[in-house]
Amino acid sequence: MTKPAANPNTAANSGAELLRQPAETLYAEELEELRKTDGGKAPAGWSMSPRAVLTFITGGKAGKKIITPKYMGNNRLVEMAIATLVTDRALLLIGEPGTAKSWLSENLAAAVSGSSGLIVQGTAGTTEEHVRYSWNYAMLLANGPSPEALVKSPVMRAMEDGRLARFEEISRCASEVQDALISILSEKTISVPELGVETGARKGFSIIATANTRDKGVNEMSAALKRRFNIIVLPAPADMETEVEIVRKRVAEISASYELQASLPAEEALVKVVTIFRELRSGMTLDKKEKVKSPGGAISTAEAISLLTGSMALAASFGNGELRDEDLAAGLQGAIVKDDDKDRLVWKEYLDQIMKKRGSSWRGLYQACMELNG
């Protein structure tokens, strides 16, 4: 019997077919249960109370449903972020690469507004139109300015609907683009002089922005814009146990999403990868006895997660599904050696001076890494 062809429109809109599901889809059951059992008062425009949002982010229970933690770290920082959004202040999350700024932003938007998709992605090419509005120029030339020809930005749509908008990597935008936010955050309106109308923000509107500390000095935010934000600095995981747990959880989620036909990393592999990353990131061995050089690229928790899922893909595709030292070595090489000359020397020195001396339990990984970096 011939299998009927899939409807491309159905496939495109099916959550199971998406490469990456948004938080509101991925955790739809948790969000629904939190709304049903929420005994607190939800602020105007919010889908649940601040306490329920906190439970969604940090984990807990809603009725009989287990709520998985989305952010593992200092819960007080999450409380501060949620409290900021209750007021009319915007929220700015700052941190090193891989400190879960975007992940926290997405999950906060999903919990508060039920949607995380109103995003402005900050780049050198982002213009003021991306923040305010633009025009369908074919319609504009044919009929002049009209509501039908108006192309609303994610920020403008969030204002109209009383939802959260996300502004990713705000410090990568030119100063004039950043300054377009000042009047929006101050006046809570966007004027369209061509139509003689003004869009005011409904209750529930705010902006969550993120900024990378490594971009400091690229397009420094003005003092006037910073005053419109409550700023929260997200640190790297404070201790080894927390970082291992973050990596374990996210690797399991991502591998399930990709349906990788490989065993999850053993505890020993997780500990080894996190140990290497923490030492290279801090410039010191965990026992504080030896200094090590750091590579030029980001050695973040997110990179460790990506490394391990990539290693699992290798094991599934070209091995027997069991994660081997050779698979981990390939992942480490790709994650650490970004600037070939400098990073290769830094990595080789770490292998010779640190990993080689760690005894038999590290010998297989050391030899596999040396073969790739030789």
Report DSSP letters for 176-224, one per residue: HHHHHHHHHHHH-EEEETTTTEEEEPPTT-EEEEEEEGGGTTTSPPPHH
Residue 15 has pLDDT above 60, yes or no: no
DSSP state of 335: H
Percent of the residues in the chain that have a pLDDT greater than 90, as a whole number: 76
Average pLDDT of the chain is 91
**102-108-109-115 Cα dihedral, nearest 10 degrees:** 100
Q: Which of 10-14, 194-198, 332-336 has the lowest mean pLDDT?
A: 10-14
Please compute the mean of the pLDDT values over residues 88-116 and round it to a whole number: 94
Residue 219 has pLDDT above 80, yes or no: no
Q: How much is the pLDDT for 45?
A: 95
Res. 258 pLDDT band, cuts 50 70 90: confident
Please compute the mean of the pLDDT values over residues 324-341 and round it to a whole number: 90
Res. 188 pLDDT band, cuts 50 70 90: very high
Q: How far apart are CA 185 and CA 189, in angstroms?
A: 8
Question: Which amino acid makes up residue 31?
Answer: L
Please compute the mean of the pLDDT values over residues 208-214 and round it to a whole number: 89
Residue 339 has pLDDT above 80, yes or no: no
Name the strand (E) or helix (H) holding 273. helix 267-282
Q: How far apart are CA 40 and CA 46, in angstroms?
A: 12
Q: How much is the pLDDT for 220?
A: 77
Q: How much is the pLDDT for 314?
A: 95
Res. 203 pLDDT band, cuts 50 70 90: very high
Q: How much is the pLDDT for 1?
A: 40
Percent of the residues in the chain that have a pLDDT greater than 70, as a whole number: 94
pLDDT in tens, 41-77: 999 999 999 999 999 999 999 999 999 999 988 999 9
Helix axes 340-353, 267-282, angle to 10 degrees: 120
pLDDT in tens, 110-167: 999 999 999 999 998 999 999 999 999 999 999 999 999 999 999 999 999 999 999 9
According to DSSP, the β-strands at 60-62 and 65-67 are antiparallel
Instruction: Kindly list the strands in the beta sheet with 206-212, ordered across the sheet, starting from the edge strand earlier in the chain.
Output: 119-121, 164-168, 206-212, 90-95, 229-234
Q: How much is the pLDDT for 12?
A: 43
Exposure string of 178-200, with b = 16+ CB inside 10 Å and e = fewer, is: bbbbeebbeeeebebeeeeeebe
Res. 7 pLDDT band, cuts 50 70 90: very low
Please compute the mean of the pLDDT values over residues 264-293 and round it to a whole number: 95
Res. 10 pLDDT band, cuts 50 70 90: very low
